[in-house]
Amino acid sequence: MITIQGQGVCGGIAFGKLYRMTKGESKVKRAHISDADAEIKRFEAARARAYDELGGLYEKALGEVGEENAMIFQIHQMMLDDADYLESIRSIIADQKLNAETAVAMTADNFAEMFASMDDSYMQARAADVRDISERVITVLAGGVDGGINSSEPVIIAAEDLAPSETVQLEKSKILAFVTEKGSASSHTSILARTMNIPAVIGAAGITDKKYENAEAIVDGFGGKIYIEPNEEIVKEMTERKAELDKENELLSSLKGVKARTKDGQSMLLYANIGHIDDIAPAFKNGAEGVGLFRSEFIYLESKTYPTEDEQFSVYKAALEKMAGKRVIIRTLDIGADKRVDYFDMPAEENPAMGVRAIRICLTRPELFKTQLRALYRASAFGRLGIMFPMIVSVEEVTEIKRICAEVRAELKDEGVPFDEKAELGIMIETPAAALISDKLAREVDFFSIGTNDLTQYTTAVDRQNPTAARFCNERHTAVLRLIKMVVDNSHKCGIWTGICGELGADESLTELFLAMGVDELSVSPGRILPIKKKVLDTDVSEIRDAALELLK
Ligand code: PEP
Ligand code: MG
């Protein structure tokens, strides 16, 4: 038996076979395509992205290693513009109806061979370059895996790392657990694992080693351990632990229909975070009283091109209908940082977490924003909708958003399309700027939802994607807790409500504090609702208030 120790990011125990998903191997899968034009477009988008990446590398290298050494990236950009190279790829896609990855790989082989056979040593050296640029394009193309898991049974996914765009495209019914060599606890891949309630471990060094392919394994998402070819003793221990968990879950499920109210009568709304329409079933199963955060960007991440107004409308309408009159808060597009979508063709940024992401994209590209808003307002006629805007830093942004929303409502009215005039408008408080001006922002909106994942990242200046920096960030940093209190107080002064939809909301060790602060709603992954409800039911706020508020000191 081999034991690999990582960091558990979603509790649970899974037994199954390890399924290695390594990028290098899965990147070039030869496939026939039917729509050559669409495939050529996909290639063009990947080429443009690779081109921009090279531009960014050139600038970076210029500052760090000087012009002479940086030149290589400009040469690579020129090669990516080479007419013969591009023609070869396009014609393989069009004539042989092959996918872009294969067309790029074939072209790379042909060109590399041609360069290598030349007499001129300068030209020979270009063989490596053409492979390099092609590899870059293929990596961009592979940014969205096709979701195929080539196994008849559900498996434990072992990968070096998984981008959110890859994770959302995996076939969920085939996944028993996620195990990655890299990753960080507050990355969107970890969040997705928690939303799907799939045991997950990150930082599992060596897990993608070829020798573990198909090996029997047990993943302990609580202890962050992976047992490969487990011995009898561990199998017995883990089987017992799993049975205990099942029993605990059964007990918790008896709380499903019970209102989340403390012993002294204080209510807490317990909502679910979802990323997909399919997550509504587990939300219901766990007694969610509403959806507090529907990360709508996953609709974009799963799509190969911009989802149309009608496509979005049907998803939002289905979510509202399924929740049958319960509140559903849908957050507008929040891509950027770790959530990359190729077809958005966003220029590479030095510092994407602080770049043009989320609402900044929407306000830069109002047509895109209006398409989503039209879909949302149209869906509002089918339930109780709240629209929420991410990454707010100023009152001016909110004013502009409200102006665009009013424009959309006026258009729909003119067209005679029904919508709910009272659909609530709220904002995420996930930047220190928003928290610090929450008194002003509270006058502009119907509700706040605190995004503690980003609020923590921006308050502590620790990149949520960087596992090495994680040790410098206390998850329950006093600064973040104080900001939360400030936001709750400011919202209440203005008569609006505040929820928490970041991962901190699911931290049971903070439930008492959130109750003592008067937080109105906690939106957590479906699997966390019942444990939090138990905590609320067991609490008497008048008894714990003073002690809980000590955490702010
Ligand atoms: C957050 O930042 O806390 C949040 C809920 O949004 P996301 O994790 O999607 O950035
Ligand atoms: Mg966020």
Helical segments of 117-268, H only: 121-141, 164-169, 188-196, 232-253
Q: How far is the CA of 355 from the centre of ligand 1 (A)?
A: 16
Angle between helices 478-493 and 452-460 (to 10 degrees): 120
Q: How far is the CA of 164 from the centre of ligand 1 (A)?
A: 13
* Closest ligand 1 atom, residue 295 Cα: 9
Which of 315, 267, 314 shows the shortest CA–CA distance to 294? 315
Cβ of 184 less than 6 Å from ligand 1: no
Q: How far is the CA of 451 from the centre of ligand 1 (A)?
A: 5
Helix (H) or strand (E) run with residue 448 in it: strand 447-450
Angle between helices 100-116 and 83-96 (to 10 degrees): 130
* DSSP letters spanning 392-419: ---HHHHHHHHHHHHHHHHHHHHHT---
Cβ of 456 less than 6 Å from ligand 1: no
Please tell me whether residue 434 adopts helix, strand or coil conformation.
helix
What residue ranges of the chain have pLDDT lower than 70?
A: 23-27, 60-61, 64-66, 69, 143-148, 165, 169
Nearest-angstrom CA–CA distance, 518 and 357: 31
Which of 407, 489, 509, 403 shows the shortest CA–CA distance to 448? 489
Predicted local distance difference test score (pLDDT) of residue 162: 84
Return all residues near 9 (Cβ < 8 A) that are at least 6 apart. Answer: 183, 185, 190, 193, 194, 200, 201, 202, 221
CA angle 348, 354, 357 (to 5 degrees): 70
Tokens at residue 317, please?
A: 């309408």
pTM: 0.75
Amino acid identity, residue 467?
P
* Closest ligand 1 atom, residue 337 Cα: 10
Return all residues near 452 (Cβ < 8 A) that are at least 6 apart. Answer: 430, 480, 484, 500, 502, 503, 504, 505
Return all residues near 424 (Cβ < 8 A) that are at least 6 apart. Answer: 329, 385, 386, 387, 446, 447
Q: What is the dihedral of CA 79, 83, 84, 88, to 10 degrees?
A: 100
CA atoms within 13 A on the CB side of 366: 9
CA atoms within 13 A on the CB side of 424: 20
Cβ of 500 less than 6 Å from ligand 1: no
Predicted local distance difference test score (pLDDT) of residue 146: 42
**Best mutation site among 430, 448, 473 for ligand 1 pocket (most ligand atoms within 8 Å of CB):** 430
Predicted local distance difference test score (pLDDT) of residue 61: 64
Predicted local distance difference test score (pLDDT) of residue 141: 83
Q: Which residues are catalytic?
A: 188, 501
Buried b or exposed e, range 127-155, using 16+ CB within 10 angstroms: bebbbebbbbbbbbbbbbbeeebeeeebb
What percent of the residues of the chain are helix, what percent strand, and what percent coil, each to the nearest 5? 55, 15, 30
Cβ of 334 less than 6 Å from ligand 1: yes
**Best mutation site among 501, 504, 523, 524 for ligand 1 pocket (most ligand atoms within 8 Å of CB):** 501
Predicted local distance difference test score (pLDDT) of residue 189: 81
Cβ of 507 less than 6 Å from ligand 1: no
Q: How far is the CA of 429 from the centre of ligand 1 (A)?
A: 10
Nearest-angstrom CA–CA distance, 383 and 385: 6
Please give the order of strands across the beta sheet that includes 175-180.
2-5, 225-228, 216-220, 13-21, 155-159, 175-180, 200-202, 7-10
Predicted local distance difference test score (pLDDT) of residue 69: 66
Q: Are strands 269-274 and 225-228 parallel, antiparallel or unpaired?
A: unpaired
Cβ of 430 less than 6 Å from ligand 1: yes
According to DSSP, the residues that pair with 446 across neighbouring strands are: none
